[in-house]
Structure 1
Amino acid sequence: MNRENSQKRPMLQEALAAHVGLIAVWLHRQVQAGATDIPPESAAQRLVRRYAQSVTREFRDPKVMGQYAEALDVTPTHLSRVCRGCCGKTAADILTERKLHAARLALESPTPAVKEVARSLGFASPAYFTRFIQSHTGQTPSALRAATRRPAVRA
């Protein structure tokens, strides 16, 4: 279609309409076939999907990865192995990244206080939250918050 349009040859509209018609037929066939060329979801993929859904819903709870595995009726080792195989990250990495993302978002604004952010993410103490943030970002929560509030320097 791009070639037809760029060459500006006679009967351009008819050619474009024909291309659109072919695309419509292809799409219709895909819908009718139910996208049968997509392989069925494996047991490992189903487990990872269920784990990811649990993390999405419950990451604010004070749960560790082993508790998620127990709720899914698998061992933590199996859950981590399956997660690594499906998405290249361990189950603990997935949970950590989700909590870290939420913490970064919460620390972008001056409120709430760091201890409130810690509590909202399921950390037992602000000190543990600070160690968590520092070990994953190299900065304290306060420093991370201050860094997001600095105006961008233009060169």
Structure 2
Amino acid sequence: MIVIDTDVLWLAFAFHKDKRQATNSIFLEQVQADQPATTIYNVLELLGKMSFNLSPDRLDEWRSWLIDAYQLLIIWPTNPSLTTAAPTFREEIFERPYQKMRTVQMPFMDSLILNLAERTPNATRFVTWNARHFQGKSTLQVLTPEEYIQTKA
């Protein structure tokens, strides 16, 4: 399973003239074969950014323009398929992210997302345009969309 970071999805929706757009689009097409996923924290981060430009009605349709469009699995912290018992709120929101922040110097949102992605069975890779922020800090292989495409060539 490939876990996709917010910046990849944000680029697809908001920065149509960005020089990475073509690569981003190819990645989002190719990743369909590898069961793409994103965490609920990524979804909320993206919806927060999109809320400045979308009407409330359009924002409410996020499942169709985000999840259905990219065939994404949403990873929840209480997902019964997680190998460990459902974490408490304190573990999920404070203790686990804090350990990442403390040991590998990582911002809160990144640590929250990465913690959940790492605990997801079958997750093998984390794809982000900010790979340098995560490399050496995760049990998952960290790639940019461009690097992912190169592994498929």
TM over 0.5: no
* Higher normalized strand content (fraction of residues): 2
- Determine which structure has more spread, i.e. the larger CA radius of gyration: 1
* Higher normalized helix content (fraction of residues): 1
Higher relative contact order at CA 8 Å, sep ≥6: structure 1 or structure 2? 2
TM-score, with structure 1 as normaliser: 0.26
